[in-house]
Structures are given as structure tokens and as C-alpha cells.
């Protein structure tokens, strides 16, 4: 990769990031010490890790497994293979599954949406099995789907064997991986993510409250999922949005329900207190135009495919810079829209915060014979 017009990009950056000259940098303390085997705190928009402990250690997930179960079902709905109004048959296996329940009855048919709500709000293991059998044909086949999606999402430290999280020697996740799939739900399925903040759900005359303690302790919290088994300890994936900043926290292996809640809230408060996040470049808007040779147009607008964010310590906004790096010395037509032509690199002083693809925002076809002849001569000089 070669550095491209850094001076010009700095001017662009100064235009895009117009604030904060008067801010004073605040000292950032170490993350709070919390009672957990592992944790992770990540900014949703930028992907910046703000705090972590044993984030890549394989741990028992308990009902955090149901986050992946939900994701797989949402993907199947989006693909048109399943509908919320479909009715799933409740097998004896689903009905007999131990642990938390939404109290579905064997032999009955239950709408997919009700099963999802029973799993999300009530943490129903019975609902999880009914969903798995309907979507995958069997629990085992559904677990294969879970692992396929985990691999696609880059969840290299996790393996799933069931849809509910009851103990199994081959069932494990990492804090980093479960944050990945939780954020995938937020990003791909915001309409379904809204269900994770539902305070209670009634099915078959039985009302149960959402088990997520953050919904009561933090008015900005809107998800995600609790988990507990004796081996896993008390676990929680949480998310809060304050102003335009969303953080996702994972706490695994806390000794008590209260320790889990206190750890989650402490991490959230730490992140919001000492960090800020900003959108630097909007998606699909040009940050520069590049010369293209042998094409039907000479200039190609380039920019990011997705919004570019940066998260950093409060008070350091004025230290942000950015540069463009080109993949090649020169660009030659044809070039299709979406082709990567370089990268945008965001820096905070000497620290690299973010590196995102820079893509062509238009198609450029081959030029006329005259244009190609002219460019061939010009490229000699």
C-alpha cells in the first residue's frame, strides 16, 4: 500500500472533523476491577475495544447461546425460508427440556414470533428447541447452522452444539465472539433487536419478566441477554446507547446475579465517561477523486462503503488525522463500482484507530481508441 496525497486528506479531515480545539485531554484510568472470568467493552460503530479481560478465552456460555439461536432464525426469516407467522410443532423433546421455560405444551403449534419472544424475554429453553427443530429439522442440524454462521462472522473461538446453552463439553464461546453476533443482530436486524428491550411477555396465561437487570438499572440500556449455569456462572451481554454512542458489554463468569449486574453497569459507565465516538466520513460519499487511465471518464470519485467512525479518549478530538493509501500507483479502466482502490487510515497521534476500505463510487468503462492512445502517451511523462 502506498501513501496517497496525505496533505490533501488532512485538509479533508479538518473539514470533516470541525470541533474541539478547546477541549482538554482527560486522564483515562484503568478499567474498573469487576468480578468476572472475562469481559469485553466495545464501541458498536467503530469496533474499538475500550476494555477487555480474557476476551478470547473459551468459556461456557449458558443462555448467551440464544443470541446465536436468534441470529440464525432471523437470517432464515430474511432469506424467506421461515415466516414469523409460521407455526412450529412442539415436540416432546422441546417440552421436556429443563431449565428456564416459556411453558409451551407438547403437541401444540406455536407461532415463530411467540417462540422468539419466549426465548428472548423469558429465556425459554423449550422455545429454543422448538425453533431449532422447525428451522433446522433437528437440534443437531440447527447446531450445524449455528456453527456455519459463526464461521462466516469470524467467531473463531466458539462452537455450538445446542440452541439453549445447557452444559455440553463441546459448547463454548468467547466474550469477543458473542459480542460479534450480538452486534450482527443490531446491525442486520434492528427491527428484531428492539424485542430485546421488552420488559415482560405473556404466553399461555403466564407472564414473565425480562431477566436482563440492566433494563432496570440503566435507562439507556436496550438489550441483550443473560445466562446462567453452575459451571458458566452468571453472564450478561448488555448494550446501551447514550446520545449517538452505543456500547456493547460482555460479562462472563460472575459469582452472583448482583455481581454480574454491577460489573456490566461499571463497564458501561467507564466507557461513556472516558471515551467519545464520532462519525468521520459518511458512507458512499466521495472523499477524493482519482485519475483513471484508459477509461471513458478520467476522474473516479472514491469513498467508504460504510460510515467511518473513530472512538478515542475524551478531549483528544483535535489530534485526529487521516490519510488515504492507494493499492496501486495508477488506476486503469475498466473499474466497477465497489472495487477497492485503497484504504482510509484514521490516526490519533501515532496510534492507528481505524483502517477501512476505500472503494470506487462509480463504474468506469473502457475509453475510446482515441482516449486510450492519448493516455498511453501521457503516461510516458
Q: Which three cell numbers stand for residue 335?
A: 473499474
Distance CA 157, CA 68 (A): 14
Distance CA 221, CA 210 (A): 13
Active-site entry in 37, 46, 63, 91: 63
| 24 neighbors 258 (Cβ within 8 angstroms) | no
Could you tell me if residue 4 is left (phi over 0), alpha (psi between -120 and 50 degrees) or otherwise beta? beta
Largest Cα separation within the chain, whole Å, is 81
Sequence-distant (6+) residues with CB within 8 A of 361 are: 284, 285, 286, 300, 301, 302, 303, 337
Neighbours of 315 (CB within 10 A): 17
Active-site entry in 37, 46, 66, 238: 66
Active-site entry in 46, 91, 100, 123: 123
Confirm whether 63 is a catalytic residue.
Answer: yes
CA 290-295-301 angle, to 5 degrees, is 30
Confirm whether 6 is a catalytic residue.
Answer: no
Confirm whether 123 is a catalytic residue.
Answer: yes
Residues labelled catalytic: 63, 66, 123
Amino acid at each position: 500500500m502506498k501513501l496517497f496525497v496525505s496533505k490533501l486528506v488532512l485538509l479533508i479531515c479538518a473539514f470533516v472533523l470541525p470541533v474541539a480545539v478547546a477541549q482538554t485531554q482527560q486522564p483515562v484510568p484503568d478499567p474498573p476491577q469487576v468480578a468476572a472470568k472475562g469481559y469485553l467493552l466495545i464501541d458498536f460503530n467503530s469496533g474499538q475495544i475500550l476494555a477487555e479481560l480474557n476476551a478470547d478465552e473459551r468459556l461456557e456460555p449458558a443462555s448467551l447461546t440464544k443470541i446465536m439461536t436468534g441470529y440464525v432464525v432471523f437470517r432464515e426469516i430474511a432469506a424467506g425460508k421461515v415466516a414469523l407467522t409460521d407455526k412450529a410443532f412442539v415436540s416432546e423433546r422441546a417440552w421436556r427440556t429443563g431449565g428456564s421455560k416459556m411453558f409451551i405444551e407438547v403437541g401444540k403449534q406455536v407461532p415463530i414470533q411467540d417462540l422468539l419472544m419466549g426465548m428472548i424475554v423469558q429465556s425459554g429453553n423449550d422455545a429454543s428447541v422448538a425453533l431449532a427443530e422447525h428451522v433446522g429439522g433437528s437440534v443437531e442440524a440447527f447446531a450445524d447452522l449455528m456453527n456455519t454462521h459463526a464461521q462466516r462472522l469470524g467467531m473463531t473461538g466458539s462452537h455450538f452444539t445446542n440452541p439453549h446453552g445447557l452444559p455440553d463439553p463441546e459448547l463454548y464461546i468467547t466474550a469477543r465472539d458473542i459480542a460479534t453476533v450480538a452486534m450482527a443482530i443490531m446491525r442486520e436486524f434492528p427491527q428484531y433487536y428492539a424485542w430485546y428491550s421488552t420488559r415482560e411477555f405473556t404466553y399461555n396465561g403466564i407472564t414473565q419478566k425480562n431477566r436482563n437487570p440492566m433494563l432496570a438499572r440503566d435507562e439507556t440500556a436496550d438489550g441483550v441477554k443473560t445466562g446462567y449455569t453452575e459451571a458458566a456462572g452468571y453472564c450478561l451481554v448488555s448494550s446501551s446507547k447514550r446520545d449517538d454512542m452505543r456500547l456493547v458489554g460482555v460479562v462472563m463468569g460472575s459469582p452472583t446475579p448482583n455481581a454480574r449486574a454491577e460489573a456490566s453497569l461499571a463497564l458501561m459507565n467507564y466507557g461513556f465517561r472516558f471515551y467519545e465516538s464520532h462519525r468521520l466520513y459518511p458512507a458512499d460519499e466521495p472523499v477524493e477523486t482519482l485519475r483513471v487511465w484508459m477509461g471513458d471518464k478520467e476522474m473516479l470519485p472514491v469513498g467508504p462503503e460504510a460510515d467511518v467512525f473513530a472512538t478515542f479518549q475524551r478531549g483528544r478530538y483535535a489530534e485526529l488525522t487521516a490519510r488515504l493509501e492507494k493499492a496501486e500507483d495508477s488506476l486503469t479502466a475498466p473499474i466497477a463500482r465497489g472495487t477497492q482502490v485503497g484504504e482510509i487510515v484514521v490516526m490519533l497521534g501515532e496510534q492507528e484507530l481505524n483502517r477501512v476500505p476505500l472503494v470506487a463510487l462509480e463504474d468506469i468503462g473502457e475509453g475510446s481508441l482515441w482516449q486510450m492512445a492519448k493516455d498511453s502517451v501521457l503516461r510516458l511523462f
